Chain A
Amino acid sequence: MKMLEVKQLGVRYGTLDVVKDVSFSVEEGEWLMIAGPNGAGKSTVVSAVSQSVDSTGTVLFCGKDVRSYKPQELARHIGVLSQNHAVNYAFMVREVVGLGRYAYSRGLFAGRSDTDEKAVEEALALTGLQDLAQQSVLKLSGGELQRVFLAQIFAQDPDLLILDEPTNHLDLLYQKQVFSLIEAWRKKPGRAVISVVHDLSLALAYGTQALLMDQGQTVAAGPVKDVLTADRLSSVYGMDVKDWMQGLLRQWEGL
């Protein structure tokens, strides 16, 4: 069964069609990479799927329109990692990660349960943040902050992860760690991932499916190796992408 099905998605800002007639689907166990040049509408697509912006078309999660889900219920199924995290207040890392359990809170004076505490601890451990748990988020680097919000999503424990540039601000070690973490997370039953990526090598290495976009529209969708072909990428990016990538790799020869 399709976990997420998007049909004829459209987003309009004023008179500008930012996303037009985009359709794709994600099944359990898949990792869909959304790729394309700047301004292609990649982030807008994930914003529309996660209900952050108004859109036309249909977005179905497990066959049910996402608009018909209550916010807490939807958050138990879909977790979203945004691109920017500007925090103004000195919340502790543990507090921000703990917010991921909001979707499971009930009642007027509900506190955090043992299950919530365990989920937060596991998320902190998974992202290597235990030592920073009591640290103010204002004192963290961009990469550490990105890991905090990733930990929040792990604590949220959804079925579908939607990640907008998940390795934004991360150095190479953490890029590798984050992708490995998400890869391990995805392989558990009943889970799938959608991520917006600029790094096409990462898309090819970790993605199972791809959606290539340009100027708000779908260029191609399907298995990652069928979509991100050299000819198609050259056409979309206006340059010989494969040649440039291989040229970069050759710089490593002899080192």
Chain B
Amino acid sequence: MGRTGKKTESFTPLAYVLFAAVMLAVFVLCVSVGSVSVPFTETVSLIAGAIRGMQAPATSAASIILSSRLPRVICVALTGAALSVCGAAMQGLLKNPLADGSTLGVSSGASLGAVIAIAFGITFPALPFAGTMVMAMIFAFASIVIILSLAYKLDYSLSTNSIILIGVIYSMFVSSLLSLILTFSHDKLHNITFWTMGSLAGTSYRNALVLLAALVICGGILLHLHRELNAFAVGEDNARHIGVNVRRVRLTVLIAVSALIGVCVSIGGCIGFVGLVTPHIVRMITGPNHAKLLPASLFGGASFLMLCDLAARMIANPLQLPIGVVTSLIGAVLFIVIFYRSRRVSS
């Protein structure tokens, strides 16, 4: 068969340039604005100087931008991109527009793993610095497996309602376990509370590097599986009939998603609803084809979470709200709207 003239379903390079430009504009805005605002031009020249390896000027603006705000906003952008691409992939895999790390209880599960690691001082001999991260990843994967297995027992077709129901029950169960651990871990109360509310304050360039590596590897795997996710989004049986190796793809997506959510939670805590809301908004613009939906969710998620973080810093200035509180406030309202709309369509 002739295989000339390959056509892809993805965006044109120009579209990617536009997305990147919008995301960079939001990035500069979020780095510049805060309790101490810095002019955009100064922010850009400071970042450009840092990239070129120039000595930073000894000003308070340079200190705020380069030591505090820049690593934080980079971590926020990477977390937003990661959680959004995970949400988009889960919604495609499960053919369920309400699937997401937070609605499925995966983020709560990852938090539980991180909290157990903190409360009981769990470390791994080979990875002494990454006990919370590894525990968060393991618990995220275990949570997905438990929730989907229970939902599968309840309803073979893994319908929206079954998964959400099990996810809610699982999240409540995890919350009570977290409360139990909290009761017996007064000395680590602050650290544990941080994981349940979600915050990226105080994150470092090292955190950003870990997030970037996880996003490149796991996000790359998910982007590569865009055709398979399209097939799953149409229906798992249909995917099997057209030749998709459904077991292998399902397992690969679940591992990639849980690893990525695990890393995000271990660094930023439980930041809910980003993975639910962003793919929904993006899907309204790009349509459901994962060749466009996944990359657009990366850019959209990064921008959305950066703006949420900005709101978290500015709403009660000088007090900083946990970013998870802001995303949950916005996300919960949107979640209800989406849920009612989907119910109306299905009935």
Residues in A with CB closer than 8 Å to B6 are: 110-113
Contact with A along B239-250 (1 / 0, CB 8 A): 011111110000
Interface residue from A70, A75, A113 paired with B3 (Cβ < 8 Å): A113
Residues of chain A lying within 8 A (CB to CB) of residue B287 = 90-92
Contact status A99-B4, CB under 8 Å? no
State A12–B252 Cα separation when bound (angstroms). Answer: 29
Q: Which residues in B have their C-beta under 8 angstroms from that of A72?
A: 243, 245
Chain A 32-56 residues near chain B, CB threshold 8 A:
50-52
Closest to A115 in B: B1
Taking a contact as CB atoms closer than 8 A, the residue among B96, B227, B288 that contacts A91 in the complex is: B288
The interface-forming segment of B134-142, B188-196, B228-236, B263-271 is B228-236
Of B3, B224, B283, the residue contacting A89 (CB under 8 A) is: B283
Are B97 and A88 in contact (CB-based, < 8 A)? yes
Task: Tell me how far the C-beta of B75 lies from the nearest C-beta in chain A, rounded to whole angstroms.
Answer: 29
Q: Is the CB of A99 within 8 A of B288?
A: no
B-facing residues in A72-111 (Cβ within 8 Å): 72-76, 79-80, 82, 85-92, 95-96, 99-100, 102-106, 108-111
Decide if A65 is an interface residue (CB 8 Å cutoff). Answer: no
Total number of A-B contacts with CB less than 8 angstroms? 103
B161 CB to closest chain A CB (Å) equals 13
With a cutoff of 8 Å between Cβ atoms, the chain A residues found around residue B237 in the complex are 52, 82
Is B230 in contact with A99, judged by CB distance below 8 angstroms?
Answer: yes
| Bound-complex Cα distance A196 to B288 (A) | 32
Chain A residue numbers with a CB within 8 Å of B235 are 82, 85-87
- B204 interface residue per 8 A CB criterion: no
A99 touches B240 (CB 8 A): no
The verdict on A74 contacting B243 (CB below 8 Å), with A52-B237, A102-B231 known, is yes
Number of interface residues of B (CB under 8 A): 33
Please give, as numbers and ranges, the residues of chain A lying within 8 Å of B283 by CB-CB distance. 89
0/1 interface trace, chain B 194-238, chain A, CB 8 Å (1 if under)? 000000000000000000000000000000100100110111011
Q: Mark A128-152, 1 if CB is under 8 A from B, else 0.
A: 0000000000100000000001001
User: Complex formed: what's the CA distance from A85 to B97 in Å?
Assistant: 17
Query: Contact: A71 with B240, CB < 8 Å?
Result: yes
Residue B5 interfacial (CB < 8 Å): yes
A115 to B246, CA, bound (A): 25
A91 (CB) vs chain B CBs: closest residue: B288
List CB contacts (< 8 Å) of B1-26 with chain A.
1-9
Give Cα A138–Cα B238 distance, bound, in whole angstroms.
16
How many residues of chain A have a CB within 8 Å of chain B? 43
Q: Does A127 contact B (CB under 8 A)?
A: no
Chain A residues positioned under 8 Å from B230 (CB to CB): 91, 95, 99
Set of chain A residues within 8 Å of B95, measured between Cβ atoms: 88-89
Bound together, the chains give a CA A110 to CA B4 distance in angstroms of 11
B123 interface contact, C-beta 8 A? no
A112 to B3, CA, bound (A): 8
Contact partner, A113, options B5, B231, B234, B241, Cβ 8 Å: B5
Whether the Cβ atoms of B224 and A75 lie closer than 8 Å is no
Closest chain B residue, CB of each to CB of A155:
B242
Kindly name the residue among A105, A111, A138 whose own CB sees the greatest number of chain B CB atoms within 10 A.
A111
Q: Does A209 contact B (CB under 8 A)?
A: no
Interface: B289 (CB within 8 A): yes
Tell me whether A114 is interfacial, beta carbon within 8 Å: yes
Contact between B233 and A113, CB atoms less than 8 A apart: no
| Chain A CB within 10 A, most for which of B95, B230, B345 | B230
- Chain B contacts of A90 at CB under 8 A? 287-288
**What residue of chain A has the Cβ atom nearest to residue B247's Cβ?**
A71
A-chain residues with CB within 8 Å of residue B246 when the two chains form the complex = 71
- Please, how many angstroms separate the alpha-carbon atoms of A36 and B241 in the complex? 24
Question: What separation, in Å, do the CA atoms of A25 and B6 have in the docked complex?
Answer: 39
A114 CA / B6 CA spacing, docked (Å) = 7
A95 vs B8: C-alpha distance when bound (angstroms): 12
B231 adjacent to A111 (CB under 8 Å): no
Please indicate which of the listed interface residues B234, B238, B289 has the most CB atoms of chain A within 10 Å of its own CB: B234
A-side residues, CB < 8 A to B, are 50-52, 70-76, 79-80, 82, 85-92, 95-96, 99-100, 102-106, 108-115, 117, 138, 149, 152, 156
Q: List 5 A-B contacts (CB under 8 A).
A: A71-B240, A82-B238, A89-B233, A99-B227, A114-B5
Given A75-B241, A91-B230, A99-B227, 9 more contacts at CB 8 Å? A50-B240, A52-B240, A52-B241, A88-B95, A91-B289, A99-B230, A115-B2, A149-B238, A152-B242
| Shortest Cβ-Cβ A-B pairs, 8 listed | A75-B243, A89-B288, A111-B6, A103-B243, A72-B243, A113-B3, A111-B8, A80-B241
Interface residues of B (CB under 8 A from A): 1-9, 95-97, 224, 227, 230-231, 233-235, 237-238, 240-246, 283, 287-289, 345
